[in-house]
Structure 1
Amino acid sequence: MRKWLWLGVVLLLALIPAASAQQFENPLPIAYGESLSGQAADLSNLMYYRFEGAAGDQITILASSTLTDTYLQLGTPEGTLLAENDDISSSNLNSRIDFTLPSAGAYVISAGGYTPGAFTLELLGPGGPDTRSQFPVIQYGQTLSGQSIDIFSFSYYTFSGTAGDEVTIIASSPTVDTYLQLGTADGNLLAENDDLSITNLDAQITTVLPTTGEYLIGVAGYTPGAYSLSLTGPSTATDVVYTPVSYGQSIAGEVTATGQYTFFTFQGRAGDALSIEVASSAIDPYVVAGTPSGSVLAENDDISREDLNARVEVVLPSSGEYLIGVGGYSPGPFTLTINLSTEGDFLPTSDIATGQVFTGEITDALTYGEYQFEVPTGVTIVADLRATSGDLDTVMALWLGEELLAENDDRAPGDLNSYLEYPNAPPGTYYITVTRYGGEQGATSGTFELVVDLRPSTELPPTVTTSAPNPTANGYPTQEVAQRAEWTVLAYLGADNNLEGALLNDLNEFELAGGSNERVRIVALVDRSPGYDRSNDNWTGSRLFEVGADVSGDHSTWEFPPTIDSVTLADLGDLDSSYGSNLTDFLVWGMTHYPAERYAVALNDHGAGWAGIITDDTARGILTLSELEEAFRMALEVTGEDGFDILFNDACLMSSLEYYAAIAPYFDYVVSSPELTYNPSFDMELLTRTLNQNPAIELGDLGKLMMDKYMQDMGNDLPDLVDVLGATVTDLTRFDTVVAALNEFSRVVTSNPAAHTPVLGQARSNAYVYGFYLPEDEFGPAVFVDPGHFMKLVIEESRDAELRAAAAAVVDALQAVTFYGTAGNHLTRFSTFYNIYFPQRNSDVNQRYFQDTPLQSWQQLLRAYFGEATGGGRFRSATEVSPVPLYSPNALPVPAPQITITNLFPAVASSTTPAIISMEVTGRGIANGDFTVDIRLPDGTLQRLNSTRILTEVVEDGMADLINFWAPGVGRHTLYLGSGNCPT
């Protein structure tokens, strides 16, 4: 994909010329579909036009002239500026505005030019005359010629199709980078494409028509020039013929139509170095060499600027059959020659046995290797790739057929070797591709060693407890069973980390409310750290308490944490509070010795969403979801209780869909935050007092009291941060509807990931991300998105009715289980009070997620998404009936985007002459872009002046917003360095 960005560094806003009273009071009328002539004078004397529109009308305004550089504005009669445009591109000084009207009513167009001269103003909209009859008709099997102007000026063609027709549309040109769109007759966009590949700038769309009727094709180019448009469909498809060719042979062939390939096949040996050349005096040919699995090994259009023939040099990664595809920018004959340069023995075999060690070498002549292996059911694939000589920077990718599953460049910061694990791999034929960073354009080389293991997958991590709990054997006291209370609160405080002082304060909050009594029992386990807080005699290890009343009264002083007055029931030694069986013992012992009508559980510590809760620094562990699920299940099974009533997660990020899916069978209600939580967090004193005063309180109301108090405390203690904080009360008795809705959404996506990945990527780029305000270099990437906001963006972006319906069902299910949610002003705009795991970059994916998450359909969605988003699309022959892959997702990892500065004017910027920086960004899988300004100081060091995310302004319902979206083609972005003194 190619995207252009115009980055204008603006220090002083230009003043928009005001309309004269006479012009503004008497604007000329213009209607949709109408063109009017005008006369420009200069920018201080614009002409004004008025039209009526309806809410949602998508309009296009064009001002064109051969005599003057035109300028356009769109606004309201009251003088509000809605949009403006100066130049369509750097080479096209006409003006164009594309806009969706926010409301019904009158609108005003201002048009003119920088210098005197005539211009034409054209207004296009849904109410204008139907111009489709004026468009050329193209039939299946036909090729038409056209002329591009620029990326904003589309030429349109119509054709008729039948529902289920598989069509291929190709716009090709030897001189123009073409762009294609396919839409319905009423203007709904179905598909679009910029480039066939990184090196082939032709555009191609292959799709299945959804309905019977008329369709529109739009063709544009980034520069002026001639192009050919071809359309193939079922009536023109023929069986693909593969002509065998051998080393040293020259064979004649013919390109029958633009965009259609002539195929050849040959047998090769691992390590063979080949030269494949296509020559023709009649056409401009191009050639692609690939593997039967669909990997592109090499492709070329022109040997040089003067020589339009095509040639590739390639070293075969394995022994077996290979494919060659030859195409051309016009029909005509060619000659294919394949020569063996060096006979090789690079790879002894393409089959991998588990634990087998492979060695090889990456050089400038040999940059790629492919290994095939079969995977049975129930295994985890572990691949370890290490450089053994040279400066080789390895890159490895794992494929299932044509789907990219996982890839790795560096196993750790500073370690250029590669490593990946893929748990619970479905059975099938897999490939591992080995290359260097940068692929063919890379600069490193050396020998390597690859080890692949197939290890049995386990449903539960090794730390999951499956044996019956035995608290007494693990140090819990034997004592008389207390009388059955109305409530028992079981507080599990994992303080073996930097929250030690804060969790001792939580224990004191229970004491401030009077502690345990016959109506409300408070039982707590505290696991302390040896290295942080030194209060309360600095005892370490794990202790068991029935919480007593506060006696010391030092909670209101500067003493933190306050004195703990409760008497220890048992010293349990140094327990690992992140170990599942220890939580099970605590729950079983507490429920057995302090039975109650209702049970509340409080988990107080660090939280990590899907990864778990309760961290133990000494043991370097965390309670995983499977351990938590097992602990709650076994505690209820052993004690004979029906379930827990409510769970308080006094920890970060625990309003997690993965977490709730794991614990929903065991709790009626849960109270958590989808965002980070800050001390003093949830008020245990309020919880205890409320249960004592009103033990029959509704669970949702209890949670609401706690959440309102939390936000009140945050407003008092963290006024600068409260806007992004929030918490929620969730009814888990109906959470199965959320899981079912997510399953259906994932099914829709994975049924056609190539079609849905662009929409998901756009929604992910703009979805609310929890913890976004934390610096990535210190806390890592923000990977928890709000699922409701994400689904709403999918609904906005997608034109697929099934996908939109599935997303809407998820939103409805989330709303149905949300009893109450509260948040600061900023978070309220976006949040539905839950988070789900969705990294933005493939490199940020934690492979552990695929094994640990209970939302297996969601992890399948992520696998499909990252496979499509990072692997690119598969291309087929235009005449192909049965899918025989020549092109597939590029076997090499996505290269870094290429940025080329094409123009900078002026060289010295000022407040009156802002710098206009023109640049070309070429790449795929781009998550976002940043504009960074540094100044080089006299000593050679750099000082950062500003770093700004490149966003696009959109106007919806009259409100302007900035979103992470780059439209294909040319865009203009105005970025500011800010006020104050700026060094020269």
Structure 2
Amino acid sequence: MRRQTILAAVSSLALAVAVAGPAFAQETQPLAPGDTVEGEIAEGDATGEDNAYRYDAYAITAVAGQRFEVVLRSAAFDAYLEVATQGAEGEPLGYDDDGLGEGTDSRLRFTAPADGTYVLRARPLSGIEGGAYSLSLTERPAPKAPPEPARINVGDTVTGELAEGDAETDAGALYEEWVFTGRQGDRVQIGLDSDAFDPVVKIGRIAEGAFTELGSNDDGPDAGLNSRLIFTLPEAGDYVIRATPLNTGDTGAYSLSLSEGPPPVEARAIRIGETVRGELTDDDTPGAGDIRADAYRFSGQEGQRVRIDMTSTTFDTYVELFDENRTSLASDDDGGPEGTNSRLIFTLPTTGSYVIEARAFSDARGRYSLAITEVEPDKPPQPLAFGASLEGEIGETDSRDSDDRGYDAFVFEGREGQRVRAIMRSGDFDTYLQIGNAEGDFTPLAQDDDGLGEGTDSRLNFTLPADGRYVLRASPLGSDGKGLYALELEDRGPQPRPGSLLVGTTAYGTLTETDATAEDNSFYDAYRVTLKEDEKLIILMVSNEVDSYVSIGRENEDETFEGLAADDDSLSDTHAKLEWTAPEDGTYEIRAGTFQQGQTGRYALIVEKKP
């Protein structure tokens, strides 16, 4: 890391970028409970993936368990809301289209899972057209304790009504519960019908005062939006049926029926190592999803790993594995190597009989192929020392992960806060690296595909969260990859401490591979500033060598970083601009980083008071 703080005006490079760049288009604005914002989606706003829509973004600071309701109204467009943890990728925490029940306006309810900052997007459902809107945020009170479930017996049909004041899930969906008693192996069929909302039926048990879901259904076959669920009780006792809507905020009357389920699909024998060809027809018996299915029974040993493949050129396949009591153990839809085919890899927990149900994802007919093969058991990880380099090979006899990738595993000892780097190169396949804890089942804590910036080679930077043993997995990205590779493991030492920066100054720095790394493995330099409550800042980060990403936050008592606001491209395509107000007196940390991991290069960071 090389950085320099200069008590001077903005450099000529930074000034040129600030003046010549496009006008400020989009920034994350703070939004607090009680706020109502009158805004407009217009040309120049940020756009979503593939320019599919424009949006305005708002930052909500929350503590774990805090409950919110967001309402977006517009006469100009079909309103849509989504919320996600700041900096997170993948599916949002919650979203809503027409949940307000007033035409196309939106109401989103969500509960913060942890302390931190959450980004709310207000946008049209689709399209780059926009217009004026009104956005409000309110804090919701703690949920009321749910009442004792009402009793329902097999053969009963009961009616109920979801209304304001009923118990709610963390996502804000209303629900009512019914309880029944059954024996191990009993099969029940549950129907939930409503003309007022799209119903979802769930079955589970109460454990330590909390509902644990065991099965659910949204739209049963041939039932429109109504729900049908066939379920086999794994043990004797009380079970809870939960009636709830698909969309939060929906209310209305419903009817719930509980009856004996149809007999299980008769299972034919199949041996491990065998491939069978079958056909789903109108004569087949409904399976666990109330969808016509074929069933196959096989015997296995405790600890044995099996792979179940189902393929079809006619329909979207779905495979589910059960124990001999027809309790579901695992399932897969599109895990196969091609299209909508299924692949399930599973380690058998006990010696005995198991049942496979082969069916379509939605009710369909047609021919298919089903194969079950034994997978090599996991090989114990080999010790790997820091500073070591080795050459290896991924082949047919290597261990396979849940995505059917062959891999080699290595174990190393590390300390809390230690920064490690693994580099994997191969001329034979697209490399992929994962790090996880050595104890228990392997769960990745971090992964990397092409982070080295040299074609398809990998570089994974990671800060160890605790003292202990860690496993490094080296594999191809795809299940068909195999060949030679080279692997290195480096100790990068502790995370660098932040420097100091005075408001009104410019810092010139260079991001290098020795710098601190963020959770997404991107490099950053950190600067501390001392601010007064309500002091307003304008923070600019400009660079012609990296895609700038600037954030501000503070260090918690446990030395974790709490992000409060961030920006990527608000100044221009690759330059960041963040306007922010300090919520209280204190010391804050500004991070000058990159939007993409692995990027290095020079930058200028300008921190000024907002007039």
Q: Same fold (TM over 0.5)?
A: no
Q: Which has the higher strand share?
A: 2
Over alpha carbons, which structure has the higher Rg? Answer: 1
**TM-score under structure 2 length normalisation:** 0.33
Structure number with the higher helix fraction is 1
